[in-house]
Amino acid sequence: MQNAHPMTITEKIFALHSNKDFVKAGDLIEAKIDIALANDITGPIAIDVFENTGAKEVFNKSAVVMVPDHFVPNKDIKSAQQAKILRDFVKKYNLTHKFDVGTMGIEHALLPEKGIVTAGDLIIGADSHTCTYGALGAFSTGVGSTDLGCSIASGSTWFKVPSTIKIIFNGKLNKYVTAKDLILYLIGDIGVDGALYKTLEFSGDAIKSLDMDGRFTICNMAIEAGAKNGIIEADDKTKEYIEKHFHNNYSRKPLFLKSDENACYEKVLEYDTSKIEPIVAYPHLPENTHTISEAIKDNIKIDQVVIGSCTNGRLEDIKAAAEILKNKKVHPNVRLLVFPATQKTILKSIELGYYQTLIEAGAAISTPTCGPCLGGHCGILADNEVCISTTNRNFVGRMGHTSSKIYLASPYIAAASAVLGRIGSPEEL
């Protein structure tokens, strides 16, 4: 029997959080939020807005999360001041979660690992890659600092319910093809505005085959297609991850939702992953995609490789890099920088021998930071330098000088390129 008011996962989360039986694409709603997130760039502005509302307390001490990760360890006086504003706010309002150098990580890897977000949540963050948590079956999206500041006071905000595009990836993944390649392939097909203010709901055999690290990667880059959020229906892998990390400490339980069979989709796009090979996004947009075969023919010499970030800094990413670099050496003309996303990832990488492999190969390994991804610190590009990176954006000047060039790829391709001195494949080693 078909539901009288069929809904997608995203619509169900909005209905639950706005106390409605039913919502549909285009509806304007006010919804309660479960988590409000900010970092050391966006947080100070949101804090200023919050203070100007006249509120005496945050709406929920365990739901407001401040993570200094963009310019920490602080690179200069200005960044030190930014981080201090966050630290002072956390102390003043005695927030439950206290993260700083030595205990923090890159925010979008840290929150799931710490069990702060869970299935069925409605999460907003003053960072565009907040959409990462859709991998847990949550609605999560980036907002402006003004909206966030008001939400920290009120515990709610307004939304226009997005329509949903269903993406089905079927088939077995080819060797060295990862979640990063799937999302780059999709963005290359539909463009950086192909899902503007839409939900991208990912499904299919290939998505089910991905581990949680891969699912976080694919949802993380939904914004690069213009999407409001990316989301994946929770399955046994999701439930196992949540059971391990989320301890129901925060007065709510996971909600495992699925789209109704007769839910309304704006469109459905199907892809055969057996036909997809590793993808490289050329400058200066994530949609400028080419196959690794094409990249090899183009003989693109590189100066720097970055492996890490909120997109590809998790344990499986470090493992992939170590697998390729085992008993190899980084090319003498290349700098390889590795940025694990959390302290736990660092510990596990040491325990499993990944760090020794990377260091012996000639990699420089950093504490968790967003630094090089946004051209902040720890890996700025000079004029005309070329970088292949596992990060999420390759805009003009994104990682440094406006004449520098950034290519986006998976950890497998990035690590192989570090050895080859040009963009290439592990199969060439």
For the segment 401-405, the average pLDDT, to the nearest whole number, is 96
For the segment 111-131, the average pLDDT, to the nearest whole number, is 95
Q: Tell which of 240, 270, 300 closes a domain.
A: 270
For the segment 145-163, the average pLDDT, to the nearest whole number, is 95
Q: Given this model, what pLDDT does residue 1 score?
A: 38
CATH number, domain containing residue 300: 3.30.499.10
For the segment 189-217, the average pLDDT, to the nearest whole number, is 96
Please say whether the beta carbons of 178 and 54 come within 8 A.
no
Q: With pLDDT > 70 as the criterion, what percentage of the chain qualifies?
A: 98
350 and 241 within one domain: no
Strand partners, 407: 388
182 and 262 within one domain: yes
Reported as a pLDDT band with limits 50, 70 and 90, residue 82 is very high
Q: Tell which of 223, 238, 270 closes a domain.
A: 270
* pTM for the structure as a whole: 0.95
Q: Tell which of 214, 238, 270 closes a domain.
A: 270
Cα separation, 241 vs 91, whole angstroms: 31
243 and 324 within one domain: no
Please say whether the beta carbons of 412 and 176 come within 8 A.
yes
Asked if the bond preceding 17 is cis, omega within 30° of 0, the reply is: no
194 and 94 within one domain: yes
292 and 240 within one domain: no
Handedness of CA 318, 321, 324, 326 (dihedral sign): negative
Cα separation, 182 vs 176, whole angstroms: 11
Q: What is the tally of structural domains in the chain?
A: 2
Determine, yes or no, domain membership for 122.
yes
Determine which helix (DSSP H) or strand (DSSP E) holds 92, and give its type and residue range. Answer: helix 77-92
374 and 298 within one domain: yes
For the segment 189-209, the average pLDDT, to the nearest whole number, is 95
Asked if the bond preceding 6 is cis, omega within 30° of 0, the reply is: no
Q: Given this model, what pLDDT does residue 252 score?
A: 80
Cα separation, 253 vs 354, whole angstroms: 35
Determine, yes or no, domain membership for 2.
no
Q: Given this model, what pLDDT does residue 375 score?
A: 84
Q: Which domain range does residue 293 map to?
A: 280-424
Chain centroid, CA 193 distance in Å: 18
160 and 40 within one domain: yes
Q: With pLDDT > 90 as the criterion, what percentage of the chain qualifies?
A: 92
For the segment 272-285, the average pLDDT, to the nearest whole number, is 96
Q: Given this model, what pLDDT does residue 327 score?
A: 97
CA atoms within 13 A on the CB side of 420: 22
Determine, yes or no, domain membership for 429.
no
Please say whether the beta carbons of 281 and 408 come within 8 A.
yes
Determine, yes or no, domain membership for 389.
yes
| Residue range 319-376, pLDDT digits in tens | 999 999 999 999 999 999 999 999 999 999 999 999 999 999 999 999 999 888 888 8
Determine, yes or no, domain membership for 4.
no
336 and 313 within one domain: yes
Cα separation, 41 vs 68, whole angstroms: 8
- Any idea which of 9-23, 75-89, 237-251 has the lowest mean pLDDT? 237-251
266 and 291 within one domain: no
| Residue range 216-229, pLDDT digits in tens | 999 999 999 999 99
Q: Given this model, what pLDDT does residue 2 score?
A: 53
Please say whether the beta carbons of 50 and 149 come within 8 A.
yes
Structure tokens at 13: 């989360």
For the segment 106-113, the average pLDDT, to the nearest whole number, is 94
Q: Which whole-number Å values give the CA distances from 372 to 39, 96, 288, 379, in the listed order?
A: 16, 29, 21, 5
Q: With helix as H, strand as E and coil as C, how does 276-307 read? A: CCCEEECCCCCCCEEEHHHHHHHCCECCEEEE
Q: Given this model, what pLDDT does residue 248 score?
A: 62
Determine, yes or no, domain membership for 204.
yes
Query: Which residue type is seen at 269?
Result: L
For the segment 117-143, the average pLDDT, to the nearest whole number, is 96
375 and 330 within one domain: yes
Structure tokens at 321: 């890099």
Handedness of CA 149, 154, 159, 161 (dihedral sign): positive
Cα separation, 305 vs 176, whole angstroms: 18
Please say whether the beta carbons of 340 and 346 come within 8 A.
yes
Structure tokens at 179: 């979640």
341 and 240 within one domain: no
Determine, yes or no, domain membership for 117.
yes
Determine which helix (DSSP H) or strand (DSSP E) holds 141, and give its type and residue range. Answer: strand 139-142
284 and 254 within one domain: no
DSSP string covering 156-195: EEEEEPPPEEEEEEESPPPTT--HHHHHHHHHHHH-TTTT
For the segment 19-37, the average pLDDT, to the nearest whole number, is 95
Question: Which is nearest to 187 in space by CA: 313, 279, 84, 86?
Answer: 279
Please say whether the beta carbons of 138 and 253 come within 8 A.
no
Q: Given this model, what pLDDT does residue 250 score?
A: 60
When the pLDDT of each residue in the chain is averaged and rounded to a whole number, the result is 94
Kindly calculate the radius of gyration of the chain based on its CA atoms and give it in whole angstroms.
21
For the segment 131-158, the average pLDDT, to the nearest whole number, is 96
Determine, yes or no, domain membership for 197.
yes
For the segment 316-321, the average pLDDT, to the nearest whole number, is 97
DSSP string covering 337-355: EEE-SBHHHHHHHHHTTHH
